[in-house]
Amino acid sequence: MPTTQYSVADRTAIVTGGSSGIGRTIAERFVADGADVVVCSREQERVDEVATALADADGEVHPVECDVRDRDAVDALVDATVDTFGGVDILLNNAGANFYSEFDDISENGWQTILDINLTGTVNCLQAASEALRAGSGGAVVNLSSFVTHFPSPNQSHYGAAKAAVSHLTKTVAFEWASANIRVNAVAPGVVLTPGVKHVLDKDVDAVPGRETVDRQVGYPEEVADLVQFLVSPAASYMTGEVVDIRGVPQSLNLDDRFP
C-alpha cells in the first residue's frame, strides 16, 4: 500500500506551544518527514533548544518567541514564517494552559487567562495566518481541543468552556474557509502523558502502560502526533470541520482513577 499520501514533506508549518509536550512531538514528526517548521513559545531559549535538537533533521526549524495572546506578536510570527520559508501550508494551534480549581474558587484573572491562551490565542493565529494560508495551493489547520468538552469535568470548568469554544470555532471556520481550499479540523485528546500533566497531577506516571496496550486511560504525545499528521496530510483531503477524539477507553472522569 502506498504511504506518500500521509507525507508533509516540502510543506511549511507553524506549531504554537512547540517547546514541549504534544507541540514539540508534532514539530519533531513534521521535520523528520521533511517539512519546514516554525516553532514558537513564550520563551525564546526554549524554542532555540528545540531548533538545536532538530538541526540534523530533513526539514528546517525556525524558532520564534511568541505569546499567542498578543496579536502583534502573532502577526510577527506569521511574517517571520513567510519571510523565512516563503509561505504557510499548515497551522497547528497547540498553545494552551490549564489549572485545576473548583468553579467557585476561580478568580476573574484565572478565568480570563485560560480563555485568553486557549481561545483568543487560537483566534489570533487563525486570523493572522488566514492570508498566508489562502495564498498557497491549499492549507490545513488543526486546533487542539479537549475531551473535557464532552463531559462535566470537575475542576476544569474554565478550561472546558474555552476548549468547547475552540471546537465550535473549528466547525464554523472550516465552513467559511472551505471555498479557499483550506481544511480546518480539531483534535480532542484525553489525558496525554506530557511534562505538564506529570507536574499538575503529581502522580506516579512511570507505571502507565505503553502504546501496545489497548485498555488504558492515558495516551502519549506520539499518538496525538500520528493523528495530527494524518489530518494535515493529503490522506485527509475529504475531512474538514471535524473534531476528532483520541482518548482510549472511555471510563472515569476522575483523573485520580486514571493513574496507579
The string of pLDDT tens digits covering residues 27-86 is: 999 999 999 999 999 999 999 999 999 999 999 999 999 999 999 999 999 999 999 999
Boundaries of domain holding 61:
4-258
Q: Which of 174-183, 230-239, 248-257 has the lowest mean pLDDT?
A: 248-257
Where in the sequence numbering do the catalytic residues fall? 159
Q: SS3 for 108?
A: helix
Q: For residue 151, what pLDDT band results from cuts at 50, 70 and 90?
A: confident
Which stretches of 42-176 are assigned E, i.e. beta strand? 61-65, 90-93, 139-144
Q: Which residue's C-alpha cell is 530533513? A: 58
Sort 185 into a burial class: Cβ within 10 Å, 0-12 / 13-18 / 19+. buried
**Domain containing 218 — which CATH number?**
3.40.50.720
Residue 256 confidence (pLDDT) above 70: no
Residue 25 confidence (pLDDT) above 70: yes
Cα first-last separation, the chain: 40
**Cell triple for 171:** 466547525
pTM score of the predicted model: 0.92
> In the chain, how many domains are there?
1
